[in-house]
């Protein structure tokens, strides 16, 4: 009874043609296909067509793959045309001798400051490396095993992520306005 209901929705046309018991019509339907010769021809032609299609696709793929992949051009390094087209030139005002003197002295002070900063950094790096080497030496004297384990590279170190520091701490209880971000980056295709 259940097979009757399922088959009735599947092939209503066959019901009209056959009209007899369900079982016999189903068997005939199943056995009729290999008897006819037409499907065999269709298969051959299909196989040839498919082969030809595949060859064409392979040729196309080879052609596309021959072209080397290109890097996406970086917009930072391309000056927009509007800045190179215009002819307007800025004329700087002449500086008074006191002003130029002040600027030179400021520049020298800045150079000195930067030099001190750089030297302090070099000193700090040197101190760090030295103390690390000393610690490793002491560890080696203590136990060889721990030293070997310490020398190995740390898999948990990478990937390392850190946001830059902010000028001010975040405001407590700040309610930002609702909004959304749309990505409008230009997509380059080869």
Using CB under 8 A as the binding rule, whether residue 7 contacts another protein is answered as no
Judged by beta carbon, residue 26 or residue 136, the one nearer another protein is 136
Asked if 61 interacts with another protein (CB under 8 A), we say: yes
Q: How far apart are the first and last CA of the chain?
A: 61
How deeply is 132 buried, as exposed, middle or buried, from its count of CB atoms within 10 A (0-12, 13-18, 19+)? Answer: exposed
Asked if residue 179 binds another protein (CB under 8 A), the reply is yes
Of 1 and 181, CB closest to another protein: 181
Q: Is the dihedral of CA 32, 34, 36, 41 positive or negative?
A: positive
* Torsion of the alpha carbons at 137, 140, 142 and 143, rounded to the nearest 10: 170
**For residues 147 and 136, is the Cβ–Cβ distance under 8 A?**
yes
**Distance, CA of 100 to chain centre:** 50
Residue 125 as a binder of another protein (CB under 8 A): the answer is yes
Rule CB under 8 A: say whether 71 interacts with another protein.
yes
Q: Does 10 bind another protein (CB under 8 A)?
A: no
Q: Coil, helix or strand for 37?
A: coil
**Binds another protein (CB under 8 A): choice among 153, 156, 171, 174:** 153
d(CA 113, CA 123): 15
The least distance separating another protein from the CB of residue 120, rounded to whole angstroms, comes to 11
Of 10, 83, 174, 188, the one binding another protein (CB under 8 A) is 188
State the Cα–Cα distance between residues 158 and 39, nearest whole angstrom. 61
* Binding of another protein by 129 (CB under 8 A): yes
Query: Which of 35, 162, 172, 175: binder of another protein (CB under 8 A)?
Result: 162
- Residues near another protein (CB under 8 A) are 54, 57-58, 60-61, 64-65, 68-77, 121, 124-125, 128-129, 132, 136, 151-154, 157-167, 177-190
């Amino acid at each position: 009874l259940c097979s009757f209901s399922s088959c009735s929705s599947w092939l209503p046309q066959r019901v009209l043609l056959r009209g007899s018991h369900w079982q016999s019509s189903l068997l005939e339907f199943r056995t009729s296909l290999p008897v006819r010769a037409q499907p065999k021809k269709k298969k051959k032609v299909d196989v040839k067509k498919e082969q030809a299609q595949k060859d064409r696709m392979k040729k196309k793929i080879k052609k596309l793959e021959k072209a080397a992949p290109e890097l996406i051009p970086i917009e930072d390094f391309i000056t927009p045309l509007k800045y190179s087209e215009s002819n307007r030139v800025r004329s700087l005002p002449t500086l008074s001798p006191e002003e130029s003197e002040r600027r030179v002295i400021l520049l020298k002070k800045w150079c000195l400051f930067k030099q001190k900063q750089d030297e302090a950094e070099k000193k700090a790096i040197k101190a760090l490396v030295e103390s690390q080497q000393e610690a490793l030496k002491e560890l080696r004297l203590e136990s060889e095993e721990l030293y070997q384990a310490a020398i190995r590279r740390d898999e948990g170190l990478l990937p390392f992520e850190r946001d830059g520091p902010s000028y001010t701490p975040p405001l407590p209880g700040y309610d930002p306005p609702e909004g959304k971000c749309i990505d409008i980056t230009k997509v380059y295709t080869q």
